[in-house]
Amino acid sequence: MNGIPKDKLDEQAEFVDMMADWTYEQLAGSITGDPGIPSFQPEGICQIDPRNHERVLFSPARARRPSDNEPEDQPSAPLDPEEQVARDLARCPVCTGKTTSILDITELPSGRHTFINKNLYPVVYPGDGFAEAGDAPEIGIDGPSAMGQEARGVHLLQWFSNDHYDDIDTQDPADLKVVFGRLLMLEAKLLHGKGSKMPKTTATQGPPHNGYVGIIKNYGRLVGGSLAHGHMQIVHTNVLPRRIEDDARFHERYDVPFARHMLENNPESLTVKDFGGKIRMLIPYFMRRPLDAFFIPLGTAETHLHHLETAHIEALAEALQFATATAKAAMPQIGREPAYNIIFHTGPVGLLYVELLPYTQETGGYENMGLYMCQGSSSGTATIYRDALG
């Protein structure tokens, strides 16, 4: 293992088991009482672009966040592998323990440990919170469109393991399944955390949810990945992101969830594989950039990770591992530095799905006009992924 030893993780642990050790109020207190986070807190305001409902959060402090993922930081001549590892670890804020206190540590089948901590440069912050549960305005579907609405919440990070090089595409598959299991428990903990004082949102099963949990992953410096050590980002907030609102609007307008519509209407020739018979990987017929892919659960109508059955979660982990590894290998062949975003479409979406967006093309002027010039074809991308299946 090349990374931070378990005893150093323990020294940073404020809590060890998120399910048993803390309430939502204690989580908020851990953030506002952190020695670093309060000085990097965002402005706590959400503005909405009235043209298209895109939400904007303001966090000038994020411009100052450190990175170990920039090309100018790399040595000019290749180092021998041992020197490279020593250099990577010495520059990693996680491996050197220069990060926030830890909220959860879980042992993996390999003996390594996955853990969850707080983002030092959050996009949302608990602040004083809202007065009572349900008091928070939900900035979203039915929310008012006035200027300067209050945006609150927490911004957490889940690290695939204490090994610097473990990431979604490289991790031992048995370990990755446990990491995903932990992610869905965090989702459940946040959405059911009564002390969050977030707006009530509907759930397909069990009691109502509180607020919205947005899960993403950035890989690569070109798409916002400032740290090389593999991680997921989790935001719990009253702000419903525009793309999730799009999914909800689609459901409302056509009376079918967007993901189900894709299962029923996307050309069969663009299906890459049904993983375990539980997760379908497909290339959308409207692919905007080469290597874009969707992952949709089969035989369910669930909207959140923590409502899925274990078989679905394990198949999702397997599918995302395959797809990210394939995209990373394919990008250099088309002259692109590996970089991608993963977006979990969960919440009021009708049926959850996951989107993989490899950064295979720049966002140009026409793209910003809403007119994409895709330098590939959906069938070509389906072939690349299918060939990689072997």
In angstroms, give the least distance from the CB of 89 to Zn ion: 6
Q: What is the dihedral of CA 139, 142, 143, 144, to 10 degrees?
A: 150
In angstroms, give the least distance from the CB of 4 to Zn ion: 7
In angstroms, give the least distance from the CB of 158 to Zn ion: 14
Question: Would you say 202 and 219 are in contact if contact means Cβ atoms under 8 Å apart?
Answer: no
In angstroms, give the least distance from the CB of 9 to Zn ion: 12
In angstroms, give the least distance from the CB of 92 to Zn ion: 3
Question: Closest-CB residue for Zn ion?
Answer: 92
Handedness of CA 270, 275, 277, 281 (dihedral sign): negative
SS3 146: coil
In angstroms, give the least distance from the CB of 86 to Zn ion: 12
In angstroms, give the least distance from the CB of 376 to Zn ion: 33
The rounded distance, in Å, linking the Cα atoms of 351 and 347 is: 9
The residues facing 102 across adjacent strands are 13, 117
Window 353-372: residues binding Zn ion (CB under 5 A): none
Going along the chain, which residue ranges are E strands? 45-48, 55-57, 102-107, 113-118, 149-150, 153-159, 200-201, 209-210, 212-219, 231-237, 271-275, 279-282, 293-297, 340-345, 353-358
Question: Would you say 327 and 319 are in contact if contact means Cβ atoms under 8 Å apart?
Answer: no
In angstroms, give the least distance from the CB of 95 to Zn ion: 3
In angstroms, give the least distance from the CB of 6 to Zn ion: 14
For Zn ion, the closer of residues 106 and 266 by Cβ is 106
The rounded distance, in Å, linking the Cα atoms of 199 and 196 is: 9
The rounded distance, in Å, linking the Cα atoms of 173 and 179 is: 10
Q: Is 112 a residue that touches Zn ion (CB under 5 A)?
A: no
In angstroms, give the least distance from the CB of 87 to Zn ion: 11
For Zn ion, the closer of residues 92 and 203 by Cβ is 92
Q: Is 94 a residue that touches Zn ion (CB under 5 A)?
A: yes
For Zn ion, the closer of residues 92 and 154 by Cβ is 92
Applying CB under 5 A, the span of 25-33, 51-59, 112-120, 157-165 interacting with Zn ion comes to 157-165
Q: Is 124 a residue that touches Zn ion (CB under 5 A)?
A: no
User: Smallest Cα–Cα separation from 354: which of 256, 237, 275?
Assistant: 275
Q: Is 95 a residue that touches Zn ion (CB under 5 A)?
A: yes
Q: Is 18 a residue that touches Zn ion (CB under 5 A)?
A: no
Applying CB under 5 A, the span of 161-169, 265-273, 288-296, 322-330 interacting with Zn ion comes to 161-169
Six token digits for residue 162: 């204490």
Question: Would you say 28 and 195 are in contact if contact means Cβ atoms under 8 Å apart?
Answer: yes
For Zn ion, the closer of residues 1 and 298 by Cβ is 1
Applying CB under 5 A, the span of 13-21, 92-100, 104-112, 198-206 interacting with Zn ion comes to 92-100
For Zn ion, the closer of residues 41 and 110 by Cβ is 110
Question: Would you say 18 and 116 are in contact if contact means Cβ atoms under 8 Å apart?
Answer: yes
Query: Applying CB under 5 A, which of residues 92, 154, 191, 342 lies at the interface with Zn ion?
Result: 92
For Zn ion, the closer of residues 92 and 342 by Cβ is 92
| Count of residues that interact with Zn ion, criterion CB under 5 A | 5
Measured distance between the N- and C-terminal CA atoms of the chain, rounded to whole angstroms:
30
For Zn ion, the closer of residues 118 and 164 by Cβ is 164
Q: Is 164 a residue that touches Zn ion (CB under 5 A)?
A: yes
For Zn ion, the closer of residues 56 and 86 by Cβ is 86
Q: What is the dihedral of CA 117, 195, 312, 220, to 10 degrees?
A: -30
For Zn ion, the closer of residues 96 and 363 by Cβ is 96
Query: Applying CB under 5 A, which of residues 112, 189, 229, 336 lies at the interface with Zn ion?
Result: 229
Per DSSP, helices labelled H in the chain are: 6-12, 18-21, 24-32, 81-91, 173-191, 242-254, 258-265, 310-330, 365-368, 378-389
For Zn ion, the closer of residues 161 and 238 by Cβ is 161
Six token digits for residue 331: 């990008």
The residues facing 107 across adjacent strands are 113
Positions touching Zn ion (CB under 5 A) are 92, 94-95, 164, 229
